[in-house]
Amino acid sequence: MEIMLDMSIEIDGIDDFLNEEEVKDYIEKVLTKEYESESPVYLSLLLTGNNEIQVINREYRDKDQPTDVISFAYHETEDFDIGPYDTLGDIVISIERVFEQAQEYNHSPKREFFYVLTHGLLHLLGYDHIEEEDRVVMRAKEEEILQSFGYTREM
């Protein structure tokens, strides 16, 4: 069954290098394959910079440094559904870190963005990487999803 997705994308002071429809389509396809819901699914996506994500990282994770992605999975603590929606949570991505990591790993910013987005989505779906065995499963799922969309490391 195809997921009906309602989402908000907020771009906070970052040049828009992505097509919002492409991002939404990607998320819908990933959720359709990886998640079952009878209700429309809602999530929010904030694209921001290193300074802003560092504040969020410090406030919510006690880590005073920028990071690439932070996910707030609402189903981890309680069902936080709003109205008719199955509310998955929030994903915050530092576009600055995406560009830095793309250069560091020698692939395109677009591939890095979709890797980070996939990582954040999988956290919303309950995946984790704290334990080694969980990390192996999550990394394999990330690569499977990215490969299925053609977002390879060579990109």
Long-range contacts of 77-85 (CB under 8 A, 24+ apart): 81/39, 82/42, 84/39, 84/40, 85/6, 85/39, 85/40, 85/41, 85/42
Cα 17 to Cα 144: distance, rounded to the nearest angstrom: 24
Indicate the burial class of 119 (C-beta count within 10 angstroms; 0-12, 13-18, 19 or more). Answer: buried
Please tell me whether 75 is known to bind a ligand: no
Extract the annotated binding site: 119, 123, 129
Extract the annotated binding site for Zn(2+): 119, 123, 129
